[in-house]
Amino acid sequence: ILNVEQSPQSLHVQEGDSTNFTCSFPSSNFYALHWYRWETAKSPEALFVMTLNGDEKKKGQISATLNTKEGYSYLYIKGSQPEDSATYLCAFYMAYSGAGSYQLTFGKGTKLSVIP
Amino acid sequence: SQTIHQWPATLVQPVGSPLSLECTVEGTSNPNLYWYRQAAGRGLQLLFYSVGIGQISSEVPQNLSASRPQDRQFILSSKKLLLSDSGFYLCAWSVAGVTYNSPLHFGNGTRLTVT
């Protein structure tokens, strides 16, 4: 059983604050780490797919880093806006023994609320 | 552009009744298709995935089944629902072939309540 842990579970910040949260995953047999944003009443939307140790990705004011050796990824939001309020999910893709595994293991998410 | 349609949006069914949730994808060929479930207080759990017509893999034992009768159609079924089947069901697709670096594209989900 794979454990993908996300912290904190929830977060309330003021508009304009910068924030970050963590995704921890097993450091062996790593293939990829995905980040998704899930807004209320919408479907999860892919933010980043990261595959290399040391990867840094950026999309607008959101960025992510990856450390595969120690098994963690950080998601940063600079200058949070109310529209950034969502649940942020990370998902870990590990190579399984045997062929054909297509499973991303998801964390429970970090729920971000940005207060205007 | 690619789109994914999932229906119904909400469903309330009694225990022991059958279930059929449908998902279709447009604008892409031979996608990988997935059914995920989010139960209360838990992360998204993969239920089934498919790499082609008639090819279904199950990740967890359960009383649910999946079928892929057409290239871009994925159906989740049950003959007799259990209370524990309540949850939020999401259909997703990704491009065919190598999967680990391909993001998932999700439908809007179905909220299933079994009473």
3-state secondary structure chain A: CCCCEEECCEEEEECCCCEEEEEECCCCCEEEEEEEEECCCCCCEEEEEECCCCCEEEECCEEEEEECCCCEEEEEECCCCHHHCEEEEEEEEECCCCCCCCCEEECCCEEEEEEC
Provide, as residue numbers in chain A, all residues whose Cβ is less than 8 Å from the Cβ of B102: 49
User: With bands split at pLDDT 50, 70 and 90, how would you rate the model's confidence at A50?
Assistant: very high
Picking from B34, B43, B105, the nearest residue to A108 by CB comes out as: B43
Average pLDDT for A16-22 = 96
Cβ within 8 Å, pair A103-B49: yes
Residue A19 and residue B16: Cα distance in Å, rounded? 46
Q: Does A109 touch chain B (CB under 8 A)?
A: yes
Does A44 touch chain B if contact means CB atoms closer than 8 Å? yes
Nearest one of A9, A23, A74, A104 to B44, comparing CA atoms: A104
Residues of B in contact with A87 (CB under 8 A): none
Cβ atoms of residues A74 and A65 within 8 Å: yes
Could you tell me which chain B residue has the CA closest to the CA of A40? B108
What is residue B97's predicted lDDT score, i.e. its pLDDT?
78
Task: Report percent pLDDT > 90 for chain A.
Answer: 78
Token couple for A72: 């963690």
Whether chain B has a CB inside 8 Å of the CB on A43: the answer is yes
Q: Do B101 and A51 touch (CB under 8 A)?
A: yes
Residues contacting residue A8 through CB under 8 Å, at least 6 positions apart: A21, A110
C-alpha A13/C-alpha A22 separation (Å) is 16
Mutate: best of A36, A101, A104, partner B, most B CBs <10 A: A104
User: What is the per-residue pLDDT across B45-88, written as a single tens digit (0 to 9) for each?
Assistant: 889 999 999 999 887 767 899 999 999 999 999 999 999 999 99
Q: Is the pLDDT of residue A100 over 80?
A: no
Q: CA angle, corner A26, sides to B47 and B65, nearest 5?
A: 5
Both structure tokens of B35: 């059914």
Residue A106's identity, in one-letter code, is F
Put simply, the answer to whether A46 touches B105 (Cβ < 8 Å) is yes
Query: Which of the four pLDDT bands, split at 50, 70 and 90, describes residue A28?
Result: confident
Contact partners, residue A79, CB within 8 Å, separation at least 6 = A16, A17, A18, A61
Query: Does the beta carbon of A40 lie under 8 angstroms from any beta carbon of chain B?
Result: no
Nearest CA in chain A to B35: A103
Partners of A49 in the beta sheet? A34
| pLDDT at residue A76, as a whole number | 97
